[in-house]
Amino acid sequence: MKLTFTQQILAARKGMSADEAEKALAPGNLILVDVDTAMSNDVTAPVAIDVFEGSGCSLCNKDNVTFVLDHFTPNRDIKSAQQCKRVRDFAHKHDVKNFFDVGEMGIEHALLPEKGIAKPWAVMIGADSHTCTYGALGAFSTGVGSTDIAGIMMSGKIWLKVPSAIKFNLKGKLNKGVSGKDLILHIIGMIGVDGALYKSIEFAGEGVNSLSMDDRFTVCNMAIECGAKNGVFPIDGKTDEYTKESIGKTYPRFETPEDGAYEKIIDIDLSALRPTVAFPHLPSNTRAVDDVKEEIKIDQVVIGSCTNGRISDLAEAARVLKGRHVKKGVRTIIIPATNKIYLEAMEKGYIKTFIEGGAIVSTPTCGPCLGGHMGILASGEVAVATTNRNFIGRMGAKDSYIYLASPATAMASAIAGKLTGEKGLEEEK
C-alpha cells in the first residue's frame, strides 16, 4: 500500500523508508517530528514568549522561528501596540532574522511563501489555524496553540498524531470566472465543516495542473474550514516555477499514490463548478451565486486576507471593476496581502482602477477578517468578503452578516450593491 502525500512528507522528515513508514506512520500513531518553521503573529506570539521565558530554556534554533506582526498592525490601539512591542523586543534580543514588522510585513500566509520560508517537503507549524496554506507547496503545515509554539522554541520538535486522509481527484479545468475559492467553498459545502475532522485532504488528478499556485494557496488555506488537519497538493511544474522565484531551486516531486491508504476518494469535475457563496453563519452554508433569487443588499465588501489577497485576486477584482464604479453607499476595501503584491498591483494599474472605481486600498493587514480593524461591521450590517470565516460576530457586531465569495463575485456585488455574480451584473445592463 502506497503512502499518502502527508505520510510521504512525514516519512522524509523522519528519514524513514516506505516500508518503515507504512507501520510507523499509520493513521492515529503519535510521532515526534523536527519542525522546519514555527510561526506566530502579534496575537499568538506574546503567549508563546511568556511560556518560553517562564521555562528557563534557551532558544533551540532562532532560524526556525518566524514572527509576523499582521493581525492588528499597524497597531489599532494601546493593547495591540504593547503586544507588538513584546514580540519586537524578544525578536531583537534573540536576533530572530525572520521577524516581519511594519514596512516589511504582510499577511503571514502570503508572506512566508513569498519570502521562501514556506517550502516543499517541510514541516510548517504555526500558531494560527490557517497555517495549512503552505500545503499548496507540498509541505505538511498545520495550526497549533501558542504553548505548542513555545515547546518548539525550546526543543525544535513537536508531537503529532498522523492524520488519515481523503483524496480529492480533480478532473477537467475551471471555467472563466471560477476560481480556487469557488472550489474550496464547493468542497466545504459538500462535506461540511467537520467532514474532514483531523484528516489530511489531498488533491490529485489531471485537474490539478489547471490550478494556479494562488488557487492552490486559497484551497489549502481553507482546509481547516472543513475540519482538516492539513491540505496538500502534489509538487509539479507550477510548484517548480514558484520555488525557482521564491527560493531559487526546485524540489523532488511527489509520487501520486493511486492506491494510497485513503479513507475515501472523491471525484470533482472542475468544469462543472460555478461561482459559489457561503451564506451566514458557516463556510459550509453554500449556494451557487447564480441560484440566489432573493435580493440581499450589502453595506461593505472586503477583498483581501490570507485567503484572497494575492496578485491574481486583485487582478480579478480590477478586471470586474474596470470601467465601472462601486454602488454608492457600499464601502469597498481592498487589502493587498504583502508589500510586494501592493507594489505589483500599483505597477499593473490595479490600484488606480480601485480608487477611480470608488474603493479604498489598505496597507497589508489581517484587519477586518477577524474583527480587528480597517472595516468592522456595525449592528445589522451585511458584508461580502473574500475572507475565510463568516461565523457570528467574526467581523464585528454579533448581528452582522458575512457572505464569503471569490474576488470576482465580491467585486460584482460591490458594483451592484447587492449579492450577485458577474453573470447577474451583466444581466442588469
Average pLDDT of span 97-125: 95
Q: How confident is the model at residue 234 (pLDDT cuts 50, 70, 90)?
A: very high
Average pLDDT of span 137-149: 96
Average pLDDT of span 253-266: 81
The confidence score (pLDDT) of residue 80 equals 93
Q: Kindly provide the b/e burial profile for residues 306-338, where b requires at least 16 CB atoms within 10 angstroms of the residue's own CB.
A: bbbbbbbbbbbbbebbeebebbeebbbbbbbbb
| CA–CA separation, 373 and 394 (whole Å) | 12
Average pLDDT of span 220-231: 96
Give tens-digit pLDDT for 261-278. 899 999 999 999 999 999
What does pTM read for this prediction?
A: 0.94
Domain with CATH 3.30.499.10 in the chain: 5-272, 276-423
Give tens-digit pLDDT for 352-366. 999 999 999 999 999
How many Cβ atoms sit within 10 Å of the Cβ of residue 358?
17
Q: 160 or 18, which is more confident?
A: 160
Residue 345, all three cell numbers = 498591483
Average pLDDT of span 407-416: 97
In 114-228, which ranges are E strands? 123-126, 140-143, 157-161, 164-171, 199-204
| CA–CA separation, 177 and 317 (whole Å) | 11
Handedness of CA 186, 187, 188, 189 (dihedral sign): positive
* Nearest residue to 252 via CA among 7, 12, 2: 12
The confidence score (pLDDT) of residue 429 equals 63
Fold classification of 276-423 is Aconitase; domain 3 (3.30.499)
How many Cβ atoms sit within 10 Å of the Cβ of residue 185?
30
The confidence score (pLDDT) of residue 158 equals 96
Phi and psi at residue 4, to the nearest 5°: -70, 170
Whole-number average pLDDT of the chain: 94
The confidence score (pLDDT) of residue 105 equals 81
Phi and psi at residue 294, to the nearest 5°: -75, 155
The confidence score (pLDDT) of residue 232 equals 96
Contacts of 11 (CB under 8 A, 6+ apart): 3, 17, 18, 20, 21, 25
Determine contact, residues 187/220, Cβ cutoff 8 Å: no
Write down how long the chain is.
429
Average pLDDT of span 236-247: 95
Pick among 3.40.50.300, 3.30.70.260, 3.40.50.10190, 3.30.499.10: CATH of 5-272: 3.30.499.10
